[in-house]
Structures are given as structure tokens and as C-alpha cells.
Chain A
């Protein structure tokens, strides 16, 4: 995603020179029609029904009548559900910070110190994606098991706690963060660092003033790229939290699987999107501001 976002600007440049051309090849606009139709029916359609359901009233088990009933949304405001929202955002935030702390040095190491084995190192970062997400989470469960070596011999017994959920989050989303950050570190001009140190800057000052600033857009993109799916996470809290540490995603799933309270589940979904949109809008504002000032 991040890779795709960056490229158009680069390539828009030759088109902008606007020299006179015999013919400017372009493809007909109707080629968008199939995907536009698809998104309208199978994405906007479900979203519209979701909104309608969230305002409907539950009548008995599994049947409902449409209307403008905001009681579902008021129910989210009760402390029990607000706690789960708070916990989800907090855990996703902490998970993102931990992912940055773990992943940034690795991306830095690849971009700065590797040459021959750079692509191999990058490939190894993606290899975990070729094993089922569920199997890897299950393997983490084996590692963290109370009867396992980690718990018995090292005394780290964290399965079914928030710490296990945090480890699972970082583990699963780490590659997704490293890739865009590596891409922005790859564009770094390391001679700037040399110049700074030659002029007497300490290595850390040079890093803070140059490397960090130049790669910040990549870090922010990567952070958002992992924060969003972490907030909607469903499997990790279920398997590693053992039901003790539910996220909003689990709460939504329960309304459709067990409770059959679809209006409330729909309202929770809208609530989750509303919470997320705050962060996405903040990101867009920051990104456009940076573009304007050419940072």
C-alpha cells in the first residue's frame, strides 16, 4: 500500500512537462466500470445495510424491524462497552509502539549495513507470511504454554493475559511495518550523515536530526498500516487472550455468532469505524501538510 502511494508522484513528473505529442496513449474510462459496480454492490451495499441494521430494533430472536432507533448507540456508551473500546485502542496503540521499537532498528540495519544480503534479509522478513496466520499464532501458544519451557524454566507465564496478546500483535504485524519503513530508509542519502558527523554532530544527533526526520513519513505510514488491523483484530485476542481479554472485534463477532443481536453488532461496527476514522483523518491531514511544505 505504502509503495503504491509514493510512486504516482514520481511518475506524474514526465506527464507534467506537457510537450506537444502526436498522441497521448490512454485507456478508456469505462474500464473502471466493473470494479466500480463491484464496490457499489458488494462493499457500499453491505455498508448501507450495516447502517440500516444499526438503527433497527431487535424483535425477538433473529428478527428485527427497520426504523431510527438510536438505543444501540446509547448502549455502547455504557461503561462496560466503553472499557472494551478503550482497551482495544490502548492495546493497538501499545502494540504499534512496540512494533516500531522492534522493527525500526531492523529496517535501519538492512538499509544501512547490508548490501549483498539485503534482498535476502528482506525476503526472510516476508517468509512468515507464507505460513498460515493461525498456525503461527498456535505455535506462539505452544511457546507460551504454562507447561512449556518458557513458563517452567524461565518463569515467563503469560498465556491468556494481555501480555500474550501484545506479543501476538507485534509478532504478526512486524513484517507489515518493516517493509514500508525499509522502503523509506532505502531512499536515504547516507552522505548527509557523513556530512553531519564531519561537521561535528554526534552520531545520535545526526540520526535524530536527519535519518529520523527523513524517514518519519514511512514510519507514520507503517504505524497506521499496523494500527488499523490491530484495532480490528479478532483472532489474536481469542487464541492468546483465551477470552479474558476481548477486543471490539470479538464483541462484534459475538453479536453475530452467539448473541444474535445483529443491530447491536452493527452499531458496534460503526462505532469501531468512527474511532478508527479519527486516526485516519489525522494521518491524511499530516500527510497533505507534509506534501505542501515538501518535507
Chain B
């Protein structure tokens, strides 16, 4: 009996190792190929001093390993298209995260303790924004923005603002659900106590509700930031002439790219991982001081 359970455990562990390998292999490939040289044939025909300034069209086959070079990192960081696109994406994602979180927080507070009958239509609307495929939201937003610009002159033309407007629809729904789950889960006993002790609604919100909601608010904002930063489909249709990082990446993947793209992606993953580790360590420290806390809403 005991032996059998052990073999089952081994089989599951082996499968898990395979699946984790499958999940991480592409990321490993991305990082390794950030150090790849242009093909030797391409280098023979190229006469520049820095082999990483070779244009994508002449780079040859870089999907196989040609040799080691570290120059793509500096090439990527000085690239005239990639860096501004990353900055644009960061700006849009930051604003989208703020707006979505504020909208989501307000709606979550009001909805969580509303009568189910009043809540149902709004809930249906929220789930609808999550169920409608992104490509449909993207093209619908595109025609809406163009029409709105035709009839209302003050409406912004296609660009950063329209990308933002299109993305907030989905993100506000996600943030609302995350914050509401936490808000409902924490009950209203402490708030009631605050009221009983003579605290006004605003003071109660600021001193009791908000601090306890903070983990969910931060998780929601981070998730919204990630979604927005990594989103290709909505910006691809509502961008006008604005380039975001995923848009630049997509055309690079389709029409030719250099390992500078891999280098930049590797740098960004490194920064994210470092930030996550720092946050985890800080959270662990504060948890020791504050004592046991409720489980995080999402494991993200």
C-alpha cells in the first residue's frame, strides 16, 4: 500500500517537472538567445565595427545558435524605437492601473453590500466585459472612437488616450472583482465597531476599511498594470500612430528582429523578478511585526 502511493507521487512529480520545463523553456531560450551572434554569413558581409549594429534584414538566421556576444544589451538600451515604445507602454499601463483601481474600488464598495436584485444587472455587465473576446472589444472600440471623433470634436484622436480608454474596460472589471472578493471576505465587524465607537463614515473608511483592503488594492493595481503593459490586441487597433512595446514587438517578430529584443525582455524580466523578491521579503518582515494576516486574494 505504502509503496503504491510512493510511485503515484513519483509519477506526479515527474509530470510536474516536465510541465514546469515546458513553461520555462521558452523563457530560457529567450534569455540565452539574447547572447546570440548574427549568422557567420551575415557577419562576413557586414563591415561595421560593432556587429550588434547590424540591421534586422541582414542578420541572417538567428533562430540557431551562432556564438556568444553580449553587445545586444547595450544595442537594445540605445535603440531608437524600442525604448520610446517601452516608455509609452509604461505610461499607459500606470494610468490604466490607477483609473481601473479607482473605478473598481468605488464599484466594489457600493456593490458588495447592495441587494442582489439591484446588483445583478451591474454584475452581468461586468461579466460581459470579461466574456466578450478581446478582438471584438478592440474593433468595436476602434469604430466607436472614429465615430466619436467625427461627431464630437473634443474627443481625442487615436493614440495613447484611446488605447487607455479601451483597456480600462476590461481592467476595471478585473480590479472590481478582486477588491470585492476581499471586501466581502473580511466582513463588516470592525467597521461596525468603528461606527459604534463614534467614528464617522469617512474616518472609518480611511482608518479601518482602506488599510484592510490594501493588499487587494495593490494586487488589483499590479494585475491591471501587467495586463495593460502586455496587451497587444486593443492597442493594435486603437493606437493610430502611437507605438507601444507589444506593437513594436509584434512587428519585429513578424518582419524581422535582432537579439536586442531578447536582451530588453530579459532585462525587464530581471527587474520584475527582483521587485517581486524585494516585495516578498518586505511583506514577510511586516507580517512578522503585524502578526498573522488574512491570506492574499490572488496568488499573483
Contacts and interface: CB of A to CB of B under 8 A. Distances in A.
Interface of A: 1, 3-5, 7-8, 10-12, 14-15, 21-32, 34-36, 38-39, 42-47, 49-50, 53, 102-103, 105-106, 108-110, 112-113, 119, 121-143, 145, 147-148, 171, 174-175, 179, 203, 228-229, 231-232, 234-235, 238-239, 249, 252-253, 255-256, 262, 265-266, 269, 272-273, 276, 280
B184 A7 contact: yes
Contacts of A4: 177-178, 180-181
Given A252-B135, A265-B139, A134 B192 contact: no
Contacts, number: 283
A232 B184 contact: no
B184 A134 contact: no
18 contacts: A7-B184, A15-B113, A25-B194, A25-B195, A25-B201, A26-B114, A29-B118, A31-B110, A32-B106, A35-B107, A143-B25, A147-B61, A147-B63, A228-B131, A229-B133, A229-B134, A234-B135, A255-B139
A45 B147 CA distance: 11
Contacts of A49: 140, 143-144, 147
> Which residue among A135, A253, A272, A280 has the maximum number of chain B CB atoms within 10 Å of its CB?
A135
A143 B26 contact: yes
Given A23-B192, A147-B63, A171-B23, A132 B265 contact: yes
B27 interface: yes
Closest 3 CB pairs of A and B: A232-B133, A139-B26, A46-B140
Interface in B234-262: 236-237, 245-246, 249-250, 253-254, 257, 261-262
Contacts of A133: 230, 232, 246
Contacts of A10: 185
B106 A31 contact: yes
Interface in B36-71: 61, 63-64
Interface string B174-214: 10111011001111110110111000010011000000000
B154 interface: no
Interface string B274-300: 001000000000000000000001111
A256 B109 CA distance: 39
Interface of B is mostly: helix
Nearest to B19: A106
Given A131-B27, A142-B33, A273 B133 contact: yes
Interface stretch (B8-16, B72-80, B90-98): B8-16
B139 A50 contact: yes
B83 interface: no
Contacts of B158: none
Interface in B102-143: 102-104, 106-107, 109-114, 118, 122, 125-126, 128-137, 139-143
Interface residues of B, number: 104
Contacts of B81: none
Contact of B298 (A3, A143, A273): A3
B23 A128 contact: yes
A135 B113 contact: no
Nearest to B280: A123
Given A36-B122, A132-B246, A143-B26, A231 B63 contact: no
A134 B29 contact: no
A31 B109 contact: yes
Contact of A30 (B8, B64, B110, B180): B110
Nearest to B204: A25
A235 B63 CA distance: 20
A36 B102 CA distance: 13
B36 to A, nearest CB: 10
